């Protein structure tokens, strides 16, 4: 499976993203931020990109003023 990892600047942003993703019925997992990605926040959001549409996810999060980095991971 291919995943996208969403990295936020703080735990508070991750928690807000969780609420928004859940409200939009987008499936996700909360994971420790992979070591190969630099982040001030120790947790990230992982989404199966073969199931969810990344463009919809970007749109929903940006509409709610959430900034994030996207990384691909297999």
What does the block give as tokens for 42?
A: 């120790």
Question: What dotted CATH number matches 3-73?
Answer: 3.30.70
- Given this model, what pLDDT does residue 36 score? 85
Q: What is the pLDDT of residues 15-56, one digit of tens each?
A: 999 999 999 999 999 999 988 887 677 999 999 998 889 999
Distance CA 60, CA 11 (A): 19
Where are the chain's structural domains? 3-73
Q: Global pTM?
A: 0.88
Containing H/E element for 23? helix 11-23
Helix, strand or coil for residue 55?
helix
Question: Rounded CA gap, 21 and 30, in Å?
Answer: 12
For residue 43, list its beta bridge partners.
32
Task: With residue 29 as reference, give the H or E element that holds it.
Answer: strand 29-32
Residues 21 and 56: beta-carbon distance below 8 Å: no
């Amino acid at each position: 499976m291919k995943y996208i990892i969403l990295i936020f600047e703080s735990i508070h942003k991750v928690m807000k993203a969780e609420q928004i993703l859940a409200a939009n019925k987008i499936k996700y997992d909360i994971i420790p931020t992979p070591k190969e990605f630099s982040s001030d926040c120790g947790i990230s959001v992982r989404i199966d990109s073969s199931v969810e549409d990344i463009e919809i996810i970007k749109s929903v999060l940006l509409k709610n003023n959430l900034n994030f980095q996207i990384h691909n991971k297999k």
